[in-house]
Structure 1
């Protein structure tokens, strides 16, 4: 059934996609799933959840949508799949389904790897297609851009200060175009938050050192006696909890409790505050257009939220892979209808949101009564509901035999 659905959807969406340039957005989310038993080809795996803190049993759902926000493809992966490994398989399926001449892939931070970039470039060469990409650099790789930011940060900060708004520039990184956007307000927030963390860590470090000094002076205080080793351990745990190990260095090998602040690493971290780093193969687009196009990716996140709230994709209680995939397919089709509703309401400049429209339409009632042995049927529709059917360009249900 899935092949039939995809073939039908390809036919419906073909006019939208068979263009000289087609921009597609791709992202992946996780969906909670229940069950304890394990199967040989089980999609239900434990992985980092995007819904709850920590690890959960789940499957992963990748979705591709157009620049207009219309979902066009999806794929189900194991719950512990690495996001970076899902991009190429999804793109191959997309190219097989649609006769595209050119594709621009826009994807989030979890999908950037040099392997992915190499794969995209190789796939373009193999298929004889123009495949471009806009990929965000994940935060864990920011350390690779220390030298780049040392050069660009003063220019970006000055431009943002003069204009009072975000500044954008570009350079090259490993032979590829790198676009950098600097949001001064976001930078100030991140800088303040980091400084508060470091101040808190230093307060704890000073308290630990003071306790050790008091013990040496014969003033042990309350509680168990501290040692330099226990102080090191507690301090190191605090640093890890605040994710400041690149800046605050606890000397775990020292006989006496001590720590250092790496001022150079601190300065490098502040240079990256408020920055959005995008690696792209697009040469014709200006840097600002690259940033704006990437930020449109946020719309796919809203689709995921709709899947998990309005459309109730989770929790899932299936255990067989084919049933899990069928469940995901039904929810994906519901998301397509959800987005079509949104597009039609927006085109009519409607005051209704999709959620409010669905809530209003839920109260449409069909009646079936028998009077003097004669059956009568009809549908009750309010003026608000009539307006909605008109805005959605959908013929309302028949109101035959319904009295005012």
Structure 2
């Protein structure tokens, strides 16, 4: 259907133009389309132009914003649009779509359905999660970030007080939230949850120990995995699936030891319908009490063993001769059974020839440097000699390959050098499950690196540390927000096989521009690049519309 002009010549030779609403219809006899006049609007010089403009505008209400904008450009006077500003859109849009795909929006809204808030708590929570993933900042700085820098769907602005209140609400629904998020993510992504990897890390606070309030029990000094033993810290635990998806997090006082948290973690996961769970833990958790506890309720474990601990069964396993079987390139393993009956223990000794060669070369370089330093001692005397001997003896690297004679002279410890070669490229694993193959045990433990990847993302991409919160509740909530952000970025990384740094850089190149004119405003995104479209397609996410909003001025 369309408007057409028809010219007719009068007897006096003058021409008259008529405006008609017509439609093309196929004539089966003539074998071509003919125009059929539906309505004649009269002579063009007598047509009510204002009525036609109103009709055209009413029709645009049934068009998409982009089509309507194009149509309105031809209605009335030409519109002079001015480019006012832009915000980054792509990263926030990707996270927003993932948030919805994992049903996190519905979960949070359901948990708050009996509460009445003046603000949209779900949107505020998403804004904090997106901030950690895209441009970590303080809650106060987020006010400017949302207003000027990033386009958060359905959220124009925030206040720091609203964000702090949202953190308090988040902690109130924590238990139910973690459980529902796990079930939603496990079902939607079809996760394999027969293997659960667990490990801990620490994160510090920019507070000197003497500045902490009296009686505080959460921020404590402890063993720092960030190499900041001078600062107060908290201990953070993560449970991660074999795909690398973090399903739950914990936070404990900074002086908590790894050995003391296994029971709590095991109990917290009871009732999550994880099926036959085999917990994979690092050497720091492999005490006999912890391993026995992991076997409760039919559970099993794969645990790293300290090879230099001097335990009789460990020494026997390392001394046992046997043939290695190749599992994968640069990875060999052999099974070792120590003891009988109830004392029976199953070990798997893994050897990585590539890592062994690397360790040999590093040690050869250390021994060579050590030899030179010992020779240099002969040129010193008095206090200089004494100080140099003490420094060398207490050195973390060189000290392990030294022995001191009765006269105080330092010599290379050849036995220590030979003993160190015994462990090159090897690690020892113990498991309680006899049904697992040697390959499953070796590769299962090797996958513990997924937890390390998650910790690295927490501390680098999400800037978990340093933390400036003082109250324990806010610290716990801050860690929860980071966990939710980590969940989204790990899903994106696992499915696209790209790092979050690359994904974020690519998607943040998509902007949302704000245009204004005397007749109204509208927002339009930049064109979607091939790389951006590929990321969205791989994740199964919708692309953002080209035109977001049209507001006509009356």
TM-score normalised by structure 2 residue count: 0.59
Alignment CA distance shift 1:2-1:16 (3 Å) = same
Q: 1:355 aligns with which of 482, 486, 501?
A: 501
Mean alpha-carbon deviation: is it higher for 371-380 or for 140-149?
A: 140-149
Residue aligning to 2:427: 276
Matched, 1:375 2:521: yes
Q: Does 1:182 align with 2:182?
A: no
Aligned-pair CA distance for 1:26: 0.9
* 1:240 equivalenced with 2:394 (yes/no): yes
Find the partner of 1:172 among 328, 331, 337.
337
Q: Is the 8 A contact 2:195 2:280 kept in 1?
A: yes
Find the residue that maps to 2:299 and give its secondary structure: strand
Matches within 5 A, 1:1-400: 1-13=173-185, 15=187, 22-36=194-208, 37-39=211-213, 40-52=215-227, 55-96=230-271, 98-121=272-295, 124=296, 129-138=297-306, 140-141=308-309, 145-152=314-321, 155-156=323-324, 165-173=330-338, 175-205=344-374, 207-208=376-377, 210=378, 225=382, 231=386, 234-235=388-389, 237-243=391-397, 248-251=402-405, 254=406, 256-259=407-410, 263-346=414-497, 353-384=499-530, 385-400=532-547
SS across alignment from 2:201: strand
Give the Cα separation in 1 of the matches to 2:454 and 2:488. 12
In the alignment, structure 2 segments of 5+ residues that lack a partner are 1-172
Q: Secondary structure at the match of 1:45?
A: coil
1:7 is paired with a residue whose SS is helix
Is contact 1:168-1:182 (8 Å) kept?
yes
Q: Paired residue for 1:217?
A: none
- 1:247·1:265 contact (CA, 8 Å) conserved in 2? yes
SS in structure 1 at match of 2:489: helix
Q: Deviations over 1:271-313 (max 9, x none)?
A: 2222110011121122122111111111221122222222222
TM-score, normalisation: structure 1: 0.78
Q: How far has the Cα of 1:139 moved from its partner?
A: 5.1
SS across alignment from 2:218:
coil
**Residues 235/401 of structure 1: CA separation in 2 closer, same or farther (3 Å cut):** closer
**Per residue, is there more helix in 1 or in 2?**
1
Q: Secondary structure at the match of 1:319?
A: coil
Provide the aligned C-alpha RMSD in A. Answer: 3.4
User: Does the CA-based 8 Å contact 1:248-1:259 persist in structure 2?
Assistant: yes
Specify the SS of the correspondent of 2:279: strand
Separation in 2, partners of 1:169, 1:130 = 26
The answer to whether the 8 Å contact 1:101/1:130 transfers is no
- List gaps (5 residues or longer) in structure 1: 212-220, 347-351
Q: Distance in 1 between matches of 2:270 and 2:189?
A: 11
Q: Is the 8 A contact 1:23 1:105 kept in 2?
A: yes
In 1, the alpha carbon distance for the partners of 2:282 and 2:219 equals 24
Cα displacement (A) at 1:331: 0.5
SS of the aligned residue for 2:536 comes to: helix
The 1-side partners of 2:413 and 2:529 are apart by 67
Change (3 A) 1:178 1:367: same
Give the whole-Å Cα distance in 1 for the aligned partners of 2:192 and 2:206. 44
